[in-house]
Amino acid sequence: MSASTALGRGDLPDAWDSGDAAGIDPEHDRRVEELKPAGAGVAAFYDRAARGIAGAPDLAELKERHTRLLGRERGIVTGRLAGLPELSPEERRQSGRALNLIKRWLTELEAARRSALEREQESRSAQGLDVTLPGRKPWIGHRHVLAQIQEELLDLFHGLGYSVYVSPEVESDDYNFGKLNFPPDHPARDAHDTYWVDGGLLLRTHTSPGWVRAMEERQPPLRLVFPGRVFRAEQVDASHMDQFHQVDGLFVDRDVSMADLKATLNTFARSIYGRAVRTRLVPVYFPFVEPGAQLDVACVICDGSGRVRDARCPVCKGGGWIELLGAGMVHPNVFRAVGYDPEAVTGFAFGMGLERIAMMRWGIPEIRLFLENDLRFLNQF
């Protein structure tokens, strides 16, 4: 190697020798041997350079050593490579090969050492535990407001002797309508905007089909509640959604009367809205009950006055009453449809919407909040 490309151990600090090059490069000794034909100095230079890289104590020092060897401006190897064109073709061939090998190997060594140092640094910081930092509060979820109110209702009815009956969300026309005494083409069906499913099936529009299934399976006396999700093809707005939740109730025995129904509904209303709540039963039509009724409660917001701070109450729209649920005495045709003798048994039923009950209880103005899962809403319950 000529003067301009000559290299020797002396070009690098003695201290670099302490690194263990063979530790990160199993080929190290062979590589030093391979360089010897280019000159003992060159091989010794590479040996020290490789040890220096392997022994760099930290990332900053590694960078410094790398720059000293291969830096674009002042790197020793870079400088020697730049001197190659001044050599004779023979010298150029031999030196060029050695210098390029040195450059490639050192580059590999530097990358290996760097990732080892980075790994060490990461595991050190992972172990570094700062006991003065405030602890992280575990994030504890809770039941959705509708799940809570459903549980509360089932609990209440459990206390009155009812058990839970679960029925399917996908129903046949017959269970959702026919056996509940909706005649074909009767306008009462129009009130249940229905999502139809292939094969004559539909998404249940109410939880009342559960009574039919239960009565077909069991004999009276029956005391059952039917919780679940129901679907209607509604235009969505602040008080309508195309899915919501209901709980129906059914009581069938001998000599069940409207008085039993009334007492049951009042027990329910007091439990949910407080002992002082005023209620009334208003006659309405449902195909599956006769007589049919709706239970109204005095508006919880204006206490039945219809006015809030000299203005019309926004919740009951000034009427003073809120419709809470549907109810009635089970229609004889429904008993016939399930094979019960309407002369032998009587029964009452009721059906309520959970969203509506919750909205009334807490003055929630917007039904969509129940499905949006915004924690700012859910965390209030």
Q: How far is the CB of 191 from ligand DAH (least distance, A)?
A: 7
Instruction: Give the Cα separation of 374 and 376 in Å (integer).
Output: 5
> Which residues, numbered 218-257, are part of the site for ligand DAH (CB under 6 A)?
248
Instruction: Rule CB under 6 A: choose which of 350, 358, 367, 369 binds ligand DAH.
Output: 350
Instruction: Judge residue 153's burial from the number of C-beta atoms within 10 Å of its C-beta, 0-12 exposed, 13-18 middle, 19 or more buried.
Output: buried
- Asked if 50 contacts 25 with a C-beta cutoff of 8 angstroms, the reply is yes
Please report whether residue 349 would count as binding ligand DAH according to CB under 6 A: yes
Instruction: Give the Cα separation of 349 and 295 in Å (integer).
Output: 12
Binding piece for ligand DAH, criterion CB under 6 A, among 48-56, 149-157, 339-347, 348-356: 348-356
Binding piece for ligand DAH, criterion CB under 6 A, among 48-56, 102-110, 346-354, 373-381: 346-354
Which residue lies nearer to ligand DAH by CB, 39 or 328?
A: 328
User: Binding string, 275-304, against ligand DAH, x = CB under 6 A?
Assistant: -----------x--x---------------
Instruction: Give the Cα separation of 297 and 25 in Å (integer).
Output: 84
Please report whether residue 206 would count as binding ligand DAH according to CB under 6 A: yes
Q: How far is the CB of 138 from ligand DAH (least distance, A)?
A: 41
Binding piece for ligand DAH, criterion CB under 6 A, among 154-162, 215-223, 345-353, 364-372: 345-353
Binding piece for ligand DAH, criterion CB under 6 A, among 27-35, 90-98, 321-329, 360-368: 321-329
Which residue lies nearer to ligand DAH by CB, 95 or 246?
A: 246
Alpha-helix runs per DSSP H in the chain: 21-24, 28-35, 40-54, 59-70, 76-83, 89-127, 145-159, 173-176, 209-217, 258-273, 332-337, 354-362, 369-372, 375-378
Q: Shortest CA distance to 34 belongs to which of 101, 95, 91, 80?
A: 101
Q: Look up tokens 């590479």; give the residue.
A: 46
Alpha-helix runs per DSSP H in 180-293: 209-217, 258-273
Which residue lies nearer to ligand DAH by CB, 1 or 295?
A: 295
Total number of residues binding ligand DAH (CB under 6 A)?
11
Q: Look up tokens 């151990």; give the residue.
A: 9
Distances (CA, A) of 369 to 15, 240, 312: 70, 11, 24
Which residue lies nearer to ligand DAH by CB, 39 or 326?
A: 326
Please report whether residue 328 would count as binding ligand DAH according to CB under 6 A: yes
Instruction: Rule CB under 6 A: choose which of 55, 220, 228, 326 binds ligand DAH.
Output: 326
Binding piece for ligand DAH, criterion CB under 6 A, among 39-47, 304-312, 323-331, 356-364: 323-331
Residue 322 backbone phi and psi in degrees, to 5: -120, 135
Instruction: Rule CB under 6 A: choose which of 81, 214, 327, 359 binds ligand DAH.
Output: 327
Please report whether residue 214 would count as binding ligand DAH according to CB under 6 A: no
Could you give the 3-state DSSP secondary structure of residue 329?
Answer: strand
Q: Which two three-digit tokens encode residue 254?
A: 């001998």
Which residue lies nearer to ligand DAH by CB, 209 or 304?
A: 209
Q: Look up tokens 């790197």; give the residue.
A: 75
Which residue lies nearer to ligand DAH by CB, 106 or 358?
A: 358
Could you report how far apart the first and last alpha carbons of the chain are, in Å? 84
User: Binding string, 156-185, against ligand DAH, x = CB under 6 A?
Assistant: ------------------------------
> Which residues, numbered 114-153, are part of the site for ligand DAH (CB under 6 A)?
none
Q: Look up tokens 């019309």; give the residue.
A: 312
Give the strand order in the sheet containing 170-172: 170-172, 201-203, 196-197
Could you give the 3-state DSSP secondary structure of residue 356?
Answer: helix
Binding piece for ligand DAH, criterion CB under 6 A, among 78-86, 152-160, 264-272, 325-333: 325-333
Q: How far is the CB of 349 from ligand DAH (least distance, A)?
A: 4
Which residue lies nearer to ligand DAH by CB, 203 or 289?
A: 289
Instruction: Give the Cα separation of 369 and 371 in Å (integer).
Output: 5
> Which residues of the shown chain bind ligand DAH in the complex (CB under 6 A)?
206, 208, 248, 286, 289, 326-328, 349-351
